[in-house]
Amino acid sequence: MAQLQSKAAEATRFAAKHGGALQSEAASFAAKHGATLQSKASEAASIAAKHGATLQSKASEAASFAAKHGGALQSKASEAASFAAKQGSAMQSKAAEAASSAAKQGREYHRTLMERNKQYVVDPPTVEKCQELSKQLFYTRLASIPGRYEAFWKEVDAVKLLLKNRKDLKAEHAGVAALFGIELYAWLRAGEFIGRGFTLTG
């Protein structure tokens, strides 16, 4: 308690000693800068008074324009919405007609195609029959490999003979050589197909 009283007494003595100096500095600052602050406030008031009327006039013009043209713009927007709804219905109708026509033509094309190639259709045309035919085709091709192999080497020998007698080469022989090259390329592609596991892409 005695310490608190001592601290309070010290604070009182400090205030009595320096209070006058602080008050004097505050008064000096106010006297020095008060005129400048008052001048800035006067400038701000002058600018507000000068441009306030112009801004108010512009705001009035904008409000008048909005009131004048708002109805016309709203009418145009309504017309645009009505036109879009009308055209949307027409386009939807056209799309439905196109889809119906495409479906009809697709069915007609399928019917014509099957009618033209009905001799190649195996009865009954079921999924199981298709799988059976696919296996038959695959293994028939495998069974034909030995015969094709022999024919291939015969053609190789014939090409070698043609190359030896290039002077006697005729157009017919050139055609045979071209067919041989095409067959080689076909065998290459078939080998790639088999190597990929009978898929078109790896």
Q: What is the DSSP code string of the chain?
A: -HHHHHHHHHHHHHHHHHHHHHHHHHHHHHHHHHHHHHHHHHHHHHHHHHHHHHHHHHHHHHHHHHHHHHHHHHHHHHHHHHHHHHHHHHHHHHHHHHHHHHHHHHHHHHHHHHHHTGGGPPSS--HHHHHHHHHHHHHHHHHTHHHHHHHHHHHHHHHHHHHHTGGG--HHHHHHHHHHHHHHHHHHHHHHHHHTTS-S--
Domain ranges of the chain: 126-195
pTM greater than the 0.85 cutoff: no
Render each residue's pLDDT in the chain as its tens digit; 202 residues.
Answer: 666 667 767 767 765 776 666 566 756 765 677 667 677 767 766 775 677 667 677 767 866 776 677 666 677 767 877 777 788 778 888 888 888 888 888 989 988 998 999 888 888 889 998 899 899 989 998 888 888 888 888 888 877 877 777 666 666 766 777 787 788 788 888 877 777 777 766 5
